[in-house]
Structure 1
Amino acid sequence: MKKFNSILLVFVFLSFSSCSSISNLNPLSLLTGNNWVLSSILGGGLDASKFTSGLPFLNFMDGGKLAGFAGCNNFSGNFEIDGTSLNLDPGAMTKKACEGGGEDQFISLLSQAKNFKVAKDKLTLLDGAKELMSFIPQAK
């Protein structure tokens, strides 16, 4: 019986300690290390035909650097995080002519992002409570 109680106590301790470590994760550590591929716009489906050269993605790097692909052109800029507040600056962008119109919408929504939610398998950019875009990690 003593052995059972000891095992139960260890199990309870591990359960609580693992829950607290998940809640204490730094959002930056969840953002970096992934290419986040666009999966929805304005809470709805994604019309891939608007992105004739491929789906947009974001890559958050150490030092506040942001790189990505907007559906036709590449960009390289910066980002700032303060809690769940977010400021994205796509910075310099290549200037290829693009078809489909998706890139313009993507860049416009990117500039409207003021906060975010992130989990291991989903990044959501928000303007207050309004969902602008969501992303999933690129399959490796």
Structure 2
Amino acid sequence: MKKLINLSFVLVFLTFSSCDSVSKLNPLSLLTGNNWVLSSLLGDKLNPNNFTSGLPFLNFMDGGKLAGFAGCNNFSGSFQLEGTSLSLDPGAMTKKACERGNAESEVVALLSQVKNFKVAKDKLTLLDGAKELMSFVPQGK
């Protein structure tokens, strides 16, 4: 009987400790705390010549706030997160005259298509289901 009681305590302990480790895998904590710099579009490596004003970046902040740079203009918007489901709204955007090309408009259009994400080995991948839209790396990596 004593062995059964001890086994019960061990099982209860393992159950609660595993729940604690799952709660530490908060999806929001995977996104916040980094300035995510664009590294690929639609699975293709970036051509830096398409972004003469600098590479686009995203910054996820507490409270569902999103800030970033689309390649020419800055934006300030919001994001909604449920598990790995993610939707992005660039919101208000500056209106600088940009050089020729459609790289910035492509970035903004792809942001609106994001449905989910994954983070692995310092890489944030924004997806539309299984389709890779964009990937980002933390600034300085």
Normalising by the residue count of structure 2, what TM-score does the alignment of the two structures yield?
A: 0.81
Which structure is larger by alpha-carbon Rg, 1 or 2?
2
Match of 2:111 in 1: 110
Q: How many residues align?
A: 123
Match of 2:11 in 1: none
Shift of 1:139: 1.2
Shift of 1:47: 1.1
Q: Distance in 2 between matches of 1:79 and 1:121?
A: 20
Match of 1:121 in 2: 122
Shift of 1:64: 0.3
Q: Distance in 2 between matches of 1:27 and 1:78?
A: 16
> Runs ≥4 in structure 1, deviation > 4 angstroms?
none
Q: Are positions 1:31 and 2:38 aligned together?
A: no
Q: Distance in 2 between matches of 1:119 and 1:106?
A: 21
Deviations 1:29-59 (A, max 9, x none): 0110100000001111111111110000000
Deviations 1:71-118 (A, max 9, x none): 000000000001111110000000001123210110011111111112
Segments of structure 2 that go 5 or more residues without pairing to the other structure are 1-16
Match of 2:12 in 1: none
Letter in 1 for 2:75: F
Shift of 1:21: 3.7
Inter-CA distance 52–131: structure 2 relative to 1 (3 Å threshold): same
Letter in 2 for 1:112: Q
Report SS of the residue matched to 1:139.
coil
Report SS of the residue matched to 2:79.
strand
Coordinate RMSD, CA, aligned: 2.0
Match of 1:3 in 2: none
Match of 1:92 in 2: 92
Percent identity over the alignment is: 80
Match of 2:57 in 1: 57
Segments of structure 1 that go 5 or more residues without pairing to the other structure are 1-16
Normalising by the residue count of structure 1, what TM-score does the alignment of the two structures yield?
A: 0.81
Inter-CA distance 23–64: structure 2 relative to 1 (3 Å threshold): closer
